[in-house]
Amino acid sequence: MKPLLSSLPGIQAENSRVFYDGMRDGIPIGLGYFAVSFSLGIVAKNAGLTAFQGFLASALVNASAGQYAGFTLIAASAAYLEMVIVVLIANARYFLMSCAMSQRMKPETPLHHRLLMGFYVTDELFGISIARPGFLNPYYTYGAILVAAPCWATGTALGVIAGNLLPLRAVSSLSVALYGMFLAVIIPPANKNKVIAGLILICFASSYAATWLPLVSSLSAGTRTIILTVAISAMAALLFPVKRKEMEND
Amino acid sequence: MTNNIYIYLAIMAGVTYAIRVLPLTLIRKEIKNDFLQSFLYYVPYITLAVMTFPAILGATQSPISGALALIIGVVAAWFGASLFMVSLSCCAIVFISELFLIPLT
C-alpha cells in the first residue's frame, strides 16, 4: 500500500486485508454492473454514441439512472442547461447517501480520500460500504471499485458494439444481482431491529403504491426514490430517534 | 446532432461528481442535532428498500422470477448468508425458474 498514508506496518496490513475484502464483495457488484451497463450500452448506441463515448460516459459518471436520462437527452439534442437539471434530479439521492457517508468517515480522514470516495458513491458501493461496522475504511471501497468499475465501463462499450448477442436469460438473471446485494445490506439489521424491519415493509408498500398513485406515478423513478427516502426517513427520525450508542452497535 | 457529445458527457460527469463529493468533503464533523443524526442513520436502509421493491419484479423477463429472487434473497440474508451468496442465490433462482417460465428463449 502507499507508504505515505501510514508508517505503521499494522495499519498497512489491515488496509490491504480490507482492500481484498472489498475486491471480494466487488465481484457480485461487477456482475450486476456488467448486465445493467450492457443494456445501457444499447441505449447509448441508439442515442448516437460510439463504443468509446459509451465507455467514457460510464467511466466518468457511474450512475445508471443518471446515464440513462443523459443518453435520452443526447438523443433528443436537448439544451445543455436541460442536461444539468435532469442529471441533478436523477442523481440527487447520491447527495443524501454522501451526507450519510460523511457521518461514517473518521473526522481526520484526509481530503484526497474524500475526493476519491466521492467519485464512486453508487447505490451498491454505498450499500456495502455502509454495511461495514465502525468508521469507513476507504481501502475497502477502493477494492470494490477496482473490480466493479471496469465491469461497468466495459459493459457499456460492449453493449454499444454487440447489443443483442447476450442471451436474454443471462441478462435477466444478472439483473437481480444488484437487488440481491441491496437485500444483503438491509435484511440482516432488520433481523436484529424491529423498527428497521417495520420500515422496510413500509418502504416496499409505499414504493409500490407510488408506481400507480395518480400524480406521483408520473414522476421519474429517481424523483420518487428521493421523495420517499426523505419522507420515510424523516418520519422514522421523529418517531424513533436513535441514540449514538445504538448506532455503534449495528 | 447540433450539440457536442463530449460537452454533454462533461456536464453529466461534472454535475454527478459535485453532488457526490460536496457532502463528503464539506461535512467534516459529527452532526450533533438528534433529528438529523437519526435521519441520516435511517437513510441508507430506506433508500435501498425503496429502490428494491417493486423494481426487482420488472428487472427480469417475468415478474414471477423477480418475486422468487426477492423471496430467496430475503430468506438467505435473514439467515446470515454473505453478500456474495445472497446475490448469487438471487441470480440462480431467476436463471432456473426462467427455464420453466420462459421456455422459448
Q: What is the pLDDT of residues A23-48, one digit of tens each?
A: 999 998 898 888 778 878 878 888 88
Q: How far is A202 from chain B (nearest CA, A)?
A: 9
pLDDT tens-digit readout, A57-102: 999 998 877 888 788 888 888 889 888 887 887 787 888 889 888 8
- Average pLDDT of chain A? 86
Do the chains contact at A123 and B7, CB–CB below 8 Å? no
Q: Which range, of A50-64, A159-173, B29-43, averages the lowest pLDDT?
A: A159-173
Q: How far is B63 from chain A (nearest CA, A)?
A: 11
Q: Which range, of A47-51, A121-125, A198-202, B26-30, averages the lowest pLDDT?
A: B26-30
pLDDT of residue A247: 62
**Average pLDDT estimate for A182-201:** 93
* All three cell numbers of A100: 450519510
pLDDT band with cut points at 50, 70 and 90 for residue A1: very low
pLDDT of residue A8: 63
Closest Cβ opposite residue B83 in set A28, A119, A241: A28
HEC readout, chain A:
CCCCCCCCHHHHHHHHHHHHHHHHHHHHHHHHHHHHHHHHHHHHHHCCCCHHHHHHHHHHHCCHHHHHHHHHHHHCCCCHHHHHHHHHHHCHHHHHHHHHHHCCCCCCCCHHHHHHHHHCCCHHHHHHHHCCCCCCCHHHHHHHHHHHHHHHHHHHHHHHHHCCCCCHHHHHHHHCHHHHHHHHHHHHHHHHCHHHHHHHHHHHHHHHHCCCCCCHHHCCHHHHHHHHHHHHHHHHHHHCCCCHHHHHHC
pLDDT band with cut points at 50, 70 and 90 for residue B1: very low
pLDDT at B101 over 60: yes
CA pair distance A246, A201, nearest whole angstrom = 21
The dihedral over CA atoms of A122, A127, A128, A129, expressed in degrees to the nearest 10, equals 80
Closest Cβ opposite residue B53 in set A98, A208, A244: A208
**Average pLDDT estimate for A155-179:** 80
pLDDT band with cut points at 50, 70 and 90 for residue A164: low
ipTM of the complex: 0.87
Contacts of B2 in chain A (CB under 8 A): 77
CA pair distance A137, B81, nearest whole angstrom = 23
pLDDT band with cut points at 50, 70 and 90 for residue B15: very high
pLDDT at A14 over 90: no
Residue with cell 433481523: A191
CA pair distance B60, B80, nearest whole angstrom = 25
